[in-house]
């Protein structure tokens, strides 16, 4: 099978495959901006956490729309890298709070400016109308998923 046959095949017609390709493309794009070993999802966690105010693990999972096992594994890696610390909540010992470490705070501040540059680059090539369509499409997917739950 040639590349042309693959490019014009059934996969290109599948909505899910196009989302998959889009996710892969944006992930590769952001790799050029992020420090080695830091994923886009980790930058979102850094953004949601603070030095002084802890965020519940469940709140992070909900904000990132991922399950508890996925967030736990990410947090474990980030804790090993000294970017965050986890502490048992004094209000409820069954809950865990996540805080930035000083190293995590500094990384977040550095990444913010880099991510703003990446976002500017995307906005140079993707018209605002297409960005609005993307946001609307993602909202439709959220509604679809919540109606099936």
Model pLDDT, residue 9:
75
Residues 41 and 68 grouped into a single domain: yes
Q: What's the pLDDT tens digit per position in 113-131?
A: 999 999 999 999 999 999 9
At 6, the pLDDT band (50, 70, 90 cuts) reads low
Residue count of the chain, please give it.
Answer: 149
- Cα–Cα dist 113/2, whole Å: 42
Within 13 Å of residue 73, how many CA atoms lie on the same side as its CB?
A: 6
- Cα–Cα dist 70/48, whole Å: 16
CATH number where 99 lies: 1.10.10.10
Domain that holds residue 107: 33-148
Q: What's the pLDDT tens digit per position in 24-72?
A: 999 899 989 999 889 889 999 999 999 999 999 999 999 999 998 899 9
Residues 20 and 42 grouped into a single domain: no
Residues 120 and 51 grouped into a single domain: yes
Model pLDDT, residue 12:
82
Residues 75 and 139 grouped into a single domain: yes
Residues 27 and 39 grouped into a single domain: no
Residues 8 and 74 grouped into a single domain: no
Model pLDDT, residue 7:
63
Residues 101 and 67 grouped into a single domain: yes
Residues 20 and 86 grouped into a single domain: no
Secondary element (H or E) of residue 87: strand 84-88
Residues 50 and 106 grouped into a single domain: yes
The number of folded domains in the chain is 2
Q: What is the mean predicted confidence (pLDDT) over 78-103?
A: 95
Residues 46 and 111 grouped into a single domain: yes
Q: Is the pTM of this model over 0.85?
A: no
* Mean per-residue pLDDT of the chain: 90
């Amino acid at each position: 099978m040639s590349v042309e046959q693959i490019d014009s095949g059934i996969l290109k017609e599948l909505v899910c495959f196009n989302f998959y390709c889009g996710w892969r493309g944006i992930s590769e794009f952001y790799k050029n901006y992020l420090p080695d070993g830091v994923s886009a999802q980790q930058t979102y966690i850094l953004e949601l956490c603070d030095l002084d105010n802890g965020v519940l693990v469940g709140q992070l999972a909900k904000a990132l729309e991922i399950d508890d096992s996925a967030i736990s594994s990410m947090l474990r890696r980030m804790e090993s890298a000294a970017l965050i610390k986890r502490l048992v909540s004094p209000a409820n010992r069954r809950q865990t709070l996540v805080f930035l470490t000083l190293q995590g705070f500094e990384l977040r501040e550095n990444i913010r400016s880099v991510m703003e540059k990446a976002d500017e680059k995307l906005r140079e090539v993707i018209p605002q109308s297409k960005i609005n369509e993307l946001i609307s499409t993602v909202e439709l997917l959220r509604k679809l998923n919540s109606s099936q739950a």
